[in-house]
Amino acid sequence: MFRMTACGFHCRCMSIAAALIAVFGIIGAGAQSATGSSTSAPAVSLSPSSLTFAARDTGTTSEAQSVTVANTGTASLFINSAWVRGANPLDFTEVYDGCSGLTLAPGTSCSVSVTFKPTQAGTRSGTLIVTDNAPNSPQTASITGTGTTPPGTTPPPLSIDTRFFTCSGGVCDIGAGSNVFVNNFFSTSFLAANGTSPYTWSGQLPTGLTLRPSGLVVGAPGVRGTSTFQVTVTDAAGATASGTFSLTVTDPPPPTPPGCQTGGTLRETLSGPAIGGRTPSGQATADETRFSGCGGFSLLSAQVKNVNLPDGTVLWVTLDFKSVGTITLQGGTGRMAQNNMGRFGVSRNAIRVYSALPDIATAQQILIGGFFSR
């Protein structure tokens, strides 16, 4: 299939997806070998298993430190991504990523380098997360550093970091560049700057959306039009900061005009290692019968079964690391609500399912797909 330039849904990650499109087939092959063979599988070691940066003044940048990612298994290891997340991800920057998109033969390795630039004083922490086709993916290395206040300066106050939103006239649009369709899945996150972590978020978002205390926004907006709302963050010392935000919800685009060749229906098998003696499985379906080079939209759905996790567990579903929905388990099975992807056609795009929402520290990848086919 093909991708549309007016992507909407994937505007924030299209450059990554485009760079990796030629190798996404490897993901599926690696996942199947990792989960379908009892004699050959990749394995991962991170060395060192953690990084500690020396104390430094806020706003100054350290020398880089590196983590080596090695394939210690007996099958090829495909590394999907290596990225920094965690409590203070903006304090740590990947200055070199020699791993993402790479296939490592057994016994070989690659490296990722990170610098530390504290945004505020105090202990700062993050996590290097490596996602791959090994059975225990993802693997993590903790990162810590200490920020200090330069002599004679006053620490800046707690604020809401709006750099990833589109702001005008004191109002920041949290959905710009995304497909924000009525009753369609939407997710984003609020971030804080300065103050004392951990932070707690509150606010009354538009109908259908929930703001979790972690700052994660998730749900399906239920009302068309533009909504304006207030969000407040409270730090560990009791300081607060508020901001005004908006979200514009539209109808999805109309289907492709008659006479244009559509993409049909494509499917992707999901597989993963056993959990408590039961092996989960699943399938993702992309309905492209209303999508073509002339316009239209695609619909994505996913279902899982035999997942040995408690009833009520909310699984997190991503397409090329972009969140596309959630699945609530009942009896080990569940189905994601259909996601309208707008003008986006799948091809060698990988579906991944995680054991919890991303703001839960114990979340692990439990299922991964190969690529979509008829």
In this predicted structure, what is the pLDDT of residue 371?
Answer: 83
Domain-located, residue 7: no
Q: Are residues 117 and 183 in the same domain?
A: no
Query: Residue 34's CB: how many other CB atoms inside 10 A?
Result: 27
Query: Residue 4's CB: how many other CB atoms inside 10 A?
Result: 20
Domain-located, residue 52: yes
Domain-located, residue 257: no
Domain-located, residue 353: yes
Judge contact between 358 and 216, C-beta under 8 A: yes
pLDDT band at 29 (very low <50, low <70, confident <90, very high): very low
In this predicted structure, what is the pLDDT of residue 1?
Answer: 35
Please state, for a pLDDT cut of 70, what percent of the chain lies above it: 90
Q: Are residues 272 and 348 in the same domain?
A: yes
Q: Are residues 190 and 238 in the same domain?
A: yes
Ramachandran bin of 156, using left for φ above 0, alpha for ψ from -120 to 50, beta for the remaining angles: beta
**CATH code for position 289:** 2.60.40
In this predicted structure, what is the pLDDT of residue 20?
Answer: 30
Q: What is the mean predicted confidence (pLDDT) over 299-313? A: 98
Q: Are residues 295 and 359 in the same domain?
A: yes
For tokens 């991964």, the residue is: 368
Q: Please tell me the total count of domains within the chain.
A: 3
pLDDT band at 6 (very low <50, low <70, confident <90, very high): very low
Domain end marker among 148, 183, 213: 148
pLDDT tens digits along 227-281? 999 999 999 999 999 999 999 999 999 999 999 999 999 999 999 989 999 999 9
| 196 has a pLDDT exceeding 90 | no
Which comes out higher in pLDDT, residue 167 or 59?
167
Domain-located, residue 170: yes
Report pTM: 0.74
The pair of three-digit structure tokens given for residue 274, joined into one six-digit string: 């056993």
Q: How many helices (H) and strands (E) does the chain have?
A: 2, 31
Q: What is the DSSP string of 284-309?
A: EEEEETTEETTEE-EEEEEEEE---S
| 7 has a pLDDT exceeding 60 | no
pLDDT tens digits along 52-79? 999 999 989 999 999 999 999 999 998 9
Q: Are residues 127 and 95 in the same domain?
A: yes
| 361 has a pLDDT exceeding 90 | no
**CATH code for position 93:** 2.60.40.10
Please state, for a pLDDT cut of 90, what percent of the chain lies above it: 70
Domain-located, residue 30: no
| 4 has a pLDDT exceeding 50 | no
Judge contact between 350 and 269, C-beta under 8 A: no
In this predicted structure, what is the pLDDT of residue 155?
Answer: 82
Q: Are residues 223 and 166 in the same domain?
A: yes
Specify the pairing of strand 139-148 against strand 109-116: unpaired
Q: Are residues 185 and 276 in the same domain?
A: no
In this predicted structure, what is the pLDDT of residue 326?
Answer: 98
Q: What is the rounded end-to-end Cα distance, in angstroms, of the chain? A: 11
Domain-located, residue 47: yes
Among 77-81, 153-157, 161-165, the range with the most confident prediction by mean pLDDT is 161-165
Q: Are residues 183 and 233 in the same domain?
A: yes
Query: Residue 15's CB: how many other CB atoms inside 10 A?
Result: 10
Among 125-134, 288-297, 343-352, the range with the most confident prediction by mean pLDDT is 288-297
Query: Residue 187's CB: how many other CB atoms inside 10 A?
Result: 20
In this predicted structure, what is the pLDDT of residue 320?
Answer: 82
In this predicted structure, what is the pLDDT of residue 141?
Answer: 96
In this predicted structure, what is the pLDDT of residue 156?
Answer: 85
What CA–CA distance (Å, rounded) separates 233 from 194? 11
In this predicted structure, what is the pLDDT of residue 66?
Answer: 97
Q: Are residues 274 and 338 in the same domain?
A: yes
Domain-located, residue 90: yes
| 86 has a pLDDT exceeding 90 | no
Which comes out higher in pLDDT, residue 27 or 187?
187
Sheet arrangement for strand 166-168: 166-168, 171-173, 240-249, 225-234, 200-203
Q: What Rg value do the Cα atoms of the chain yield, rounded?
A: 21
Residue 13 CB contacts under 8 Å (≥ 6 apart), including other chains: 320, 321, 322
* Cβ density class 283-314: b for 16+ within 10 Å, e for less: bbebbbebbbeebbbbbbbbebbebebeeeeb
pLDDT tens digits along 136-154? 888 999 999 999 989 888 8
Q: What is the mean predicted confidence (pLDDT) over 220-226? A: 97
The pair of three-digit structure tokens given for residue 365, joined into one six-digit string: 């990848």
Q: Is 259 exposed, middle or buried (0-12, 13-18, 19+ CB in 10 A)?
A: exposed
Which comes out higher in pLDDT, residue 33 or 260?
260
Q: What is the mean predicted confidence (pLDDT) over 178-187? A: 96
Q: Are residues 169 and 128 in the same domain?
A: no
| 23 has a pLDDT exceeding 50 | no
Q: Are residues 128 and 50 in the same domain?
A: yes
Q: Can you give the residue range of the structural domain that contains 171?
A: 159-249
For tokens 């098998």, the residue is: 269
Domain end marker among 83, 118, 148: 148
Judge contact between 23 and 77, C-beta under 8 A: no
Q: Are residues 123 and 163 in the same domain?
A: no
| 107 has a pLDDT exceeding 80 | yes
Domain end marker among 221, 249, 277: 249
